[in-house]
Chains A and B, each alone.
Chain A
Amino acid sequence: MAELGAASLWIALALASYSAVGSFLGKVRGSPELVVSARRAVYLVALVLLVATMSLMALFVSQDFEVAYVAAHSDRAMQSHLTWVAFYAGNEGSLLYIAAALGAMSALAIWKARDKNLQDTLPYTTGVLMLVMTFFLAVMGFMANPFDKLPFIPPDGEGINPLLTHWGMFFHPPALMAGLIAASIPLAFAMGSLIGGQSEDEWVDAGRVWGIVSWGLLACGLLLGSWWAYTILGWGGFWFWDPVENAALMPWLGLTAFIHSIMVQKRRGMFRMWNIVLINVAFGLALYGMFVNRGGPVPSVHSFGASTLGWVFLLFLIVGVLVPFAVFFWRYNLLKSARNLDSMLSREAAFLANNLLLLGIAFVTLWGTVYPLIPRLTTGEEITIARPFYDQVNGPLFLALLCLMGVGPLLPWRRANFAAVRRALVVPVAAGLMLAVVLLALGIRQPYALTGFALGGLVATGIVAEWVRGARSRHRSSGELYPVAFVRLIMANRPRYGGYIVHLAVVMVALGVIGTSFFNQQKDVVLAPGETVAVNDYELRYLGTVAEFKGNRTEYLSTVEVLRDGELQHMLYPRRDFYPSFNMASTRASIRSTPVEDLFVAPSENMADGSVGFRILVNPLIWWMWVAGPVLILGTIVALWPQRVRAPVRVAAATPAPRTGGQLQRGMGDTAPGD
C-alpha cells in the first residue's frame, strides 16, 4: 500500500510538470493538441492524487507502523474515526491533503471554464495552477514523503496529539488549508488573462467564483478554529491574535477586499488594475500563511515543530509574490479601466474605501507579526506583540468597516444624489441611534461597545429594510405571497442578496466579539466537593469528580450544579483529560449556551484531595458568533449559486456603456436580470 501511494505521488509529479510545460509550450507554439492533452493531464493529476490519499488512509486504518508518518501520528489505541485528523496531523500528510485539494479544485475549475470564452487564456491558467501543483508534489517527493518507511517496524505508534481529538479538528484544518490553496485559482485566472493578453473581463466570473470559494473556506476554518479554542483550550477565549491565526486571517481579509472589488469590474468594467493587485496580494498572504504553518519563524501555539520545509516555503513565497507582480507590470497597459469613477458618493467609491480598510487591517496584522524581528535584529532587544496591540490598533478599523458595511450597500452605483442617500439611510441610522440610546439608558457606558452595537443595528436594519421594501413591491406588482416574494427577490440577484446574508452573519460575529470583550465575567476558583461559588446571578455547586483510565489518558469528569435563585437549573459536566505520554492535558469545557449569555466552566487542575481548580466565565452574546457560521455558509452558497440566464454585460475599453438598455429591460421585467 505504501508503494502504491509513493508511486502515485511520482506519477502525479510527472503529470503535473508535463501539464505545466505543455500548457505554456502548446499555446506559444500554437499546438492545440498539446494544449488539450495538457488540460486532460490536470484531470489525471486529480485522480492519481485521490489514489495517493486513499493509500495513506488505508495505511492508517491498517495500522501499518512501518510507515514513518503513520507511526508518528497514530497508535493502536486511536479510534478509527480519528484517521481523518491524523492524516493531516503532520507536515507530510498536510502537504498531500493540500495537493489533493488543489488537484480536485483545479480540475473542477478548468473543466467548468473549458467552454467559456477563455480559449486564449485558459492554457496559461492551467499552466500556472500546475506549476503550483508541481511545487507541492516536488516538496513531498524529495523532502517530506508521507510514504517513507522506517528501517524497522515499531510495535506501536506514538499516538495522535490529544489537542486534535476534538470534532472541530475534523473541519478546521482542512477548511483552512483548502481555503489557502484555493486562492491560487483566482490568481491563475488573473495571470492567464494577463499572459494571454486579454484586455477584457473574461476572467472575472471564474475569478469571482473561486475567490468566494477560497474566502468561504477560510471563513469556515477561522470560525471553527475559534470555536475549537473556546471549548478545548480551557481559558475561555476564542481568538488571541496568534501568529498562525493571523496568517489565516490576512488572506481572508485580502480575499474579502477582492470579492467586493471584483463586483465593480463585473458590473462597471472598472478597477481592473486594482483587482489584479488585490488577488496578487491575497495570494501572497495565502503563501505567507502556508509558510508560517510549515515551519515559519514565529513562536505560536500552532508550532508544528521546526522543519527545514520553512526555507523552501519562504522561497516559494518570494517567487509567488514577485512573479505575479512582474506579470502585472509587464501587462500594465492592458488594464485601463473602461470607465472612471463618477462620484465620491457611489457604491464604487464605498467599495474602494472598504478595500483600503481591509488591506489596512491586514497590514496592521502583518506589521504586528513581523515587527518584533526589527528590534531583535538591530538592538538585540526582544519584544512581544500580542493581543493588546491588535485590539487597540485594529479595533477602530473594524468599527469603521462595520460602518461602511451599513452605508456602502445602500449607495447606488455611479453617483448618488444626496436626497436619495438621505432617504435610504434615514431608517437604518435612526434605528442605530435608538439602539444606542436604549443601551445608554440600560447603563452601558463603554464607547466602543456602544458604537459597535449601534453600527450593528444600522447594518441589520439597512438589510432588513431593503428586503421588506423589495418583497412588498413584488407582492404589490405580481400578487406573490410575502414569503414567495422574499425568496424570489433573493434568487433574482444572488450576488447582492447572498452578500447581505453574509453581512448579517458578520453583524452576529460582531455581537459576540463585543459582548465577550467588554461584558464578560471571569472567576478562577479552587473548590472542594460540596463547595459553592457565586458568579453573576448564578450559584455553582461542585459535587465531585470521577477519574477513569482510558488507554492513553485519564479522564477527570467533574459534576457541577448550576442554581439560580436557589433553584437547580442545570447540570454541567466539565472534563479534563490527562495524557501521560504527552505530559499534556486537554480540557472539555462544559457550556450552558443561550442567546443571552454562555455559562462556561472548565477545570484547570485536579488535586489529589478531589478539589478542582475551575475557570468560570459568563460570556454574553457569544452564542451569536457560532450561529453566524451556518448563516455565513448559506449566504456564500446563495452568492455562488449559478444564475440560469447569464447575460453578462461586458464593457470593452472606450465603448459607451450598454447599461441603460440593460437597466431599462430589467425595469420592465421582461428578462431575467443579469447579475
Chain B
Amino acid sequence: MLAVSLAVAAAWHVKAGPVQAQQPGPTSSPGEALQYDEREAQRIDKMLMCPVCPAETIDQAQVEYSKQMRRVVREMLAQGHSREEILDFFADRYGPQVLAAPPKSGLNLVAWIVPVVAVIAAICGGLLVIRSMAGRNNAPTGDGPLGEEGLEEYLEIIDRETGG
C-alpha cells in the first residue's frame, strides 16, 4: 500500500513540478498546513472514485490509497488549481472511470441527454394522451348521468369533508 501511495504522490510531483517552482508559499511535504478551501476539497472528493475499492468515492473509502488521493486533491487546491484541472489530472492518470460521473462532452454526452429526452418525451406523450382522451369525452356521449354534472363540485366537498 505504501508503494501505491508513493506512486500517486510521485506522479503528482513530476507533473506539478514547474507549478510548484513558481509558488514559494505552500509546499506539499506532509504535516504542513495547506491553504485551501476544505468545502471545495470535499466536493471534489465526492466526484472521484477510489480506484481500488468497488463503487466508493475517495470521500467514502478509508483505505490508504484514497487517503493519498484526498491529500493530492488538497495540495493541488492549495497550489491554486481549479476543480476541472484536478479532475482532469486524475482522469489522465487513472482513465475516465475515476470520475464519478462522465464529463458532459463528446460521446459521453449521450449518457446525460438520453434520460432527459426520454423523460420529456414521456411527459409530452402523456399530455397528448390525456388531451385526446379528454377531447373524446367532450362529445355529447360523455359518461355518467347528465344530472351529475352540476353536482360534481358539491359531491366532492361532501366527499372531502366526510372522508368519502
Contact = CB atoms under 8 A, between A and B. Distances in A.
B130 interface: yes
A657 B143 contact: yes
A388 interface: yes
A605 B131 CA distance: 61
A385 B137 contact: no
Nearest to B95: A382
A218 to B, nearest CB: 21
Interface stretch (A10-18, A128-136, A327-335, A337-345): A337-345
A417 B119 contact: no
Interface in A109-129: none
Contacts of A342: 134, 137, 142
Given A469-B161, A673-B163, A233 B60 contact: yes
Interface in A617-675: 656-657, 659-660, 663-664, 666-667, 669, 673
B155 interface: yes
Contact of B55 (A301, A413, A491): A301
B13 interface: no
A581 interface: no
Contacts of B129: 352
B163 A497 contact: yes
Nearest to A469: B161
A383 B159 contact: no
Nearest to A667: B158
Contacts of A368: 111, 115
A12 B158 CA distance: 53
Given A233-B60, A360-B122, A379 B54 contact: no
A313 interface: no
B96 A673 contact: no
B163 A656 contact: no
Nearest to A389: B101
Contacts of B164: 492-493, 663, 666-667, 673
Contact of B116 (A301, A303, A393): A393
B108 interface: yes
Contacts of B27: none
A663 B159 contact: yes
B144 interface: yes
Interface in B34-86: 38, 42, 46-47, 49, 54-57, 59-60, 62, 70
A340 B136 contact: yes
Interface residues of A, number: 80
Contacts of B42: 522
B56 to A, nearest CB: 7
Nearest to A341: B133
A353 B55 contact: no
Contacts of B155: 660, 663-664, 667
A418 B151 CA distance: 15
Contacts of B57: 240, 386-387
Given A344-B134, A363-B118, A522-B42, A353 B100 contact: no
B105 interface: no
A389 B100 contact: yes
Nearest to A661: B145
B152 interface: yes
B54 A303 contact: yes
Given A340-B143, A341-B133, A660-B145, A384 B118 contact: no
B29 to A, nearest CB: 16
Contacts of A469: 160-161
B14 interface: no
A490 interface: yes
A340 B162 CA distance: 27
Given A339-B143, A660-B145, A387 B100 contact: yes
Contacts of A673: 162-164
A300 B55 CA distance: 5
A235 B137 contact: no
A384 B126 contact: no
B96 A381 contact: yes
A384 B153 contact: no
Interface in A518-567: 522-524
A341 B137 contact: yes
A344 B96 contact: no
Given A352-B126, A356-B123, A667-B162, A604 B62 contact: yes
A515 to B, nearest CB: 16
A205 interface: no
Contacts of B111: 367-368, 371, 383, 385, 389
B140 interface: no
A414 B148 CA distance: 11
Contact of A660 (B47, B56, B151): B151
Interface in A386-431: 386-389, 392-393, 397, 412-415, 417, 420
B130 A240 contact: no
A284 interface: no
A292 B58 CA distance: 24
B21 interface: no
A415 B56 CA distance: 49
A303 B54 CA distance: 9
Interface string A413-451: 111010010000000000000000000000000000000
Contacts of A341: 130, 133-134, 137
A470 B157 CA distance: 10
B59 to A, nearest CB: 7
Those 10 A-B pairs whose CB atoms lie nearest each other, nearest first: A492-B163, A389-B101, A412-B156, A382-B97, A386-B100, A473-B161, A360-B119, A388-B101, A341-B133, A667-B158
Given A303-B54, A374-B110, A496-B163, 12 more contacts: A352-B130, A360-B115, A383-B108, A386-B49, A388-B47, A412-B159, A466-B160, A473-B162, A657-B144, A660-B147, A664-B155, A667-B159
25 contacts: A234-B62, A301-B56, A343-B134, A344-B130, A344-B131, A356-B122, A364-B118, A367-B114, A367-B115, A368-B111, A375-B108, A381-B96, A381-B107, A382-B95, A382-B97, A383-B97, A384-B49, A384-B96, A384-B102, A385-B102, A470-B162, A493-B163, A604-B62, A667-B164, A669-B162
